[in-house]
């Protein structure tokens, strides 16, 4: 059986680690091919206005490559030409995303939902949703041939409820890979210890912390979202994993999109499992 090919498209560097890093590590260890893509370069993700945007973008790109080395995923690309807070679902970006999908030839494409607090996340979601059908139109972007088999599309977990709550179609326990997931997050120093901590009014010197202190911080501030996802999808966890599903503490959840290739939720679950 050929390795599965999973394409995870986020708006910013670090979005994929947060939303599907554990799944990516498990699939990679099992011999499957995972690619991360950030549609923005990360040049606004900091509170220090003295950092030139170009320097911040380069720093954040370096963080993605450090994370890639730890995770073992096949590729981690960043669209360096797209600035944070300015991403739009325009024709140029639509063509870029469609060519990206066709060239990687994924079995599954995962991205944000359209209901999201961040404009870049929403634009990314729209671009990927638009590509779900248009990537199979041969006369659109004819320089890049369409895939023989259309990919399945799905969404990363979120806790937003308007217009409707997230549907936990596929549940991936990540308890066994939380250490490496935390190490992937730890690569994004500019975000987890600086920008996002500053947003919460926390200022500290993380450079003096031991790994255990960093891990404790990461689990306290990020682990809660995976606990929430596990609890939200508890019935699905039990349905898929039986008694073991009752004891899962951390999980990543995914929703099957009605766009793209049509499959059942059980088939979707199987595609995201190692």
For residue 32, the model assigns a pLDDT of 98
For residue 84, the model assigns a pLDDT of 98
3-state secondary structure the chain: CCCCEEEEEECCCCHHHHHHHHHHHHHHHCCCEEEEEECCCCCCCCCCCCCCHHHHHHHHHHHHHHHHHHHCCCEEEECCCCCCCCCCCCHHHHHHHHHHHHHHCCCEEEECCCCCCCHHHHHHHHHHHHHHHHCCCCCCCCCCCCCCCCCEEEEECCCCCCCCCCCCCEEEECHHHHHHHHHHHHHCHHHHHHHHHHHCCCCCCHHHCCHHHHHHHHHHHCHHHHHHHHHHCHHHHHHHHHHHHHHCCCEEEEEEEEEECCCCHHHHHHHHCC
For residue 200, the model assigns a pLDDT of 86
For residue 201, the model assigns a pLDDT of 87
Predicted TM-score (pTM) of this structure:
0.97
Q: List pLDDT tens digits, range 43-97.
A: 999 999 999 999 999 999 999 999 999 999 999 999 999 999 999 999 999 999 9
What structural domains and CATH numbers belong to the chain? 5-272 (3.40.50.10320)
Which residues of the chain have a pLDDT value below 70? none
For residue 204, the model assigns a pLDDT of 86
For residue 27, the model assigns a pLDDT of 98
The two three-digit tokens of residue 73, written as one number: 């995923």
CB 239 within 8 A of CB 257: no
């Amino acid at each position: 059986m050929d390795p599965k090919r999973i394409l995870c498209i986020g708006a910013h560097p670090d979005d994929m680690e947060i939303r599907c890093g554990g799944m990516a590590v498990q699939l990679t260890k099992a011999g499957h091919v995972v690619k991360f893509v950030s549609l923005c370069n990360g040049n606004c993700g900091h509170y220090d206005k003295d950092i030139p945007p170009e320097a911040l973008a380069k720093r954040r790109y370096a963080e993605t490559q450090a994370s890639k080395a730890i995770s073992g995923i096949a590729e981690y690309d960043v669209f360096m030409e797209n600035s944070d807070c300015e991403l739009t679902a325009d024709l140029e970006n639509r063509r870029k995303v469609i060519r990206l999908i066709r060239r990687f030839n994924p079995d599954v494409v995962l991205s944000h939902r359209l209901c999201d607090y961040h404009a870049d996340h929403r634009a990314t979601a729209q671009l990927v949703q638009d590509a779900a059908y248009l990537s199979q139109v041969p006369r659109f972007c004819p320089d890049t041939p369409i895939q023989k088999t259309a990919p399945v599309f799905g969404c990363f977990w979120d806790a937003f409820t308007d217009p409707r709550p997230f549907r936990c179609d596929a549940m991936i326990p990540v308890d066994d890979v939380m250490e490496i997931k935390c190490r992937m997050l730890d690569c994004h120093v500019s975000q987890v210890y600086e920008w996002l901590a500053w947003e919460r009014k926390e200022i500290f010197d993380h450079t003096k912390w031991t790994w255990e202190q960093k891990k404790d911080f990461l689990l306290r501030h990020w682990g809660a979202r995976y606990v929430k996802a596990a609890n939200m999808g508890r019935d699905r966890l039990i349905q898929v994993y039986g008694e073991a599903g009752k004891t899962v503490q951390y999980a990543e959840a995914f929703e099957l999109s009605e766009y793209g290739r049509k499959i059942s939720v059980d088939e979707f679950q199987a595609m995201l499992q190692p």
